[in-house]
Structure 1
Amino acid sequence: MNGIDTEALSATLDAVGRDPGLADVTFGLESEWLDGCHQRASTTDLRQNGEVVETHTTRYTMESDEPAALLGTDKAASPAEYVLQALAGCYAVTFAANAAARGIELDSLRLDMRADLDLHGFLGLDESVRPGVQEVRVDVHATSSNSSREQLQELTDAVQQRSPIRDTLASAVTVKTILVGG
């Protein structure tokens, strides 16, 4: 349902219930600065319960840059757009899986997303302004032929509570940055 293998979803729930360590997942990325605002990154091993997931062998390469208006050369999506993409991807997974678990057949799902930044913080022009995103707005356009608007609203509320990337953006997260070598 919704492209989600409900048997696999049930098996995953059972497996994590029996072995809570399976809930511990670590994603990795290696990034290299190319020039100016341009960088290239590649995904690395996926770890579950401290062990490399051997079936996760595909590696992806991503590049980012900034628009020319923001000191870049517009060779790739900006980091802020990647943040929105990360949230959109996580929302899509969370919507599809939670809808399937509730018996909701999604006919369509579209997310219109905006992230507002105030460059005063990034540029060091006003120390009272955070350098990060000030607000993220998401308009959800979801349709289902077997569910009411109320059920879709309950689903949307559940997605906000269960989306790992939304939680990451909305909650304080420890980020450790360590200079290695130099």
Structure 2
Amino acid sequence: MKNIVNGINVDEFKQFAEKVTQNPDKAKARFNVDTRWAGQTRSVSTMNSYDLFGDNIKRTFHVAADEPSEILGSNTAPNPQELLIAALNACLTVAYVAVAASKGITVNSLKIETSGELDLRGFLGLDENVNPGYDSVQYTVYIDADASSEVLDEIHQAVIKTSPNYANFSRSIKMESNLVVNS
């Protein structure tokens, strides 16, 4: 009989964690995205594969981005900021559900509301003293689960410690860029 909690096979989750523990030199996942301009402010990102434990795993997804018409776009898809926040929320969601499942706790409902405010003077290069990115992001987690408030707070603290996108938002990431000019 499978031990399924919140749609997650807890036994497989533990086996995956054990594999990571036993193979620390291969305990890496590399994700790759190819983004191409699609005219005006629109772009399409393609994910063709990722690397896990030294293996390349093929799969294909496409994600469109655009700006609202008020920001010179054609309003055909979420803008990059909405996708960034959606990626944060999706990562947090996985973490809440997986940590709860590992503790045998059923999540009945989970919603995360996140917002951040950008100063467009930085984005437009109008004031070099203005950060083009977020100075802060606010989020609220609404959870209904079969656990006490104390246990849910333990889960919340575990998510903050282990969510990759929480870490990406809350810490600096070294950016390494290259420019290739075709002539």
TM-score (norm 1): 0.93
Partner residue, 1:21 = 25
1:23-63 deviations in Å (ceiling 9; x for gaps)? 2110011111111211111102211234313xxx3311111
- 1:58 corresponds to: 59
**Residue in 1 aligned with 2:11?**
7
In the other structure, the counterpart of 2:134 is 133
- 1:122-165 CA distances to partner (integer Å, 9 max, x unpaired)? 11111111111222111100011x31112112211211111001
Task: Give the aligned partner of residue 170 of structure 1.
Answer: 170
Does 2:91 match 1:86?
no
Alpha-carbon distance between aligned partners in 2 of 1:167 and 1:78, rounded to the nearest angstrom: 22
- Which consecutive residues of structure 1, in runs of 5 or more, have no partner in the other structure? none
Aligned mates of 1:141, 1:158 — CA distance in 2: 16
Cα RMSD (Å) of the superposition? Answer: 1.3
1:111-122 equivalence runs, <5 A: 111-122=112-123
Residue 37 of structure 1: aligned partner: 41
Tell me the SS of whatever aligns to 2:135. strand
Q: Report sequence identity in percent.
A: 30
Question: How far, CA to CA, are the matches of 1:148 and 1:128 in structure 2?
Answer: 46
Preserved contact between residue 15 and residue 22 of structure 1 (Cα < 8 Å): no
1:106 CA drift (Å): 0.8
Distance in 1 between the 2:11 and 2:53 partners?
Answer: 22
Listed as ranges, the matches of 1:144-159 within 5 Å are 144=145, 146-159=146-159
Q: How many residues align?
A: 178
Distance 1:134 1:72 in 2: 24
Letter in 2 for 1:15: K
Query: What code does the residue aligned with 2:88 have?
Result: L
Is the 8 Å Cα contact of residues 49 and 59 (structure 2) preserved in structure 1? no
Distance 1:136 1:162 in 2: 18
Q: Distance in 1 between matches of 2:9 and 2:26?
A: 19
Q: Residues of 2 paired with 1:134 and 1:69: CA distance? A: 23
> Quick check: 1:66–1:72 contact (8 Å CA) kept in 2?
yes
Q: What's the counterpart of residue 67 of structure 1?
A: 68
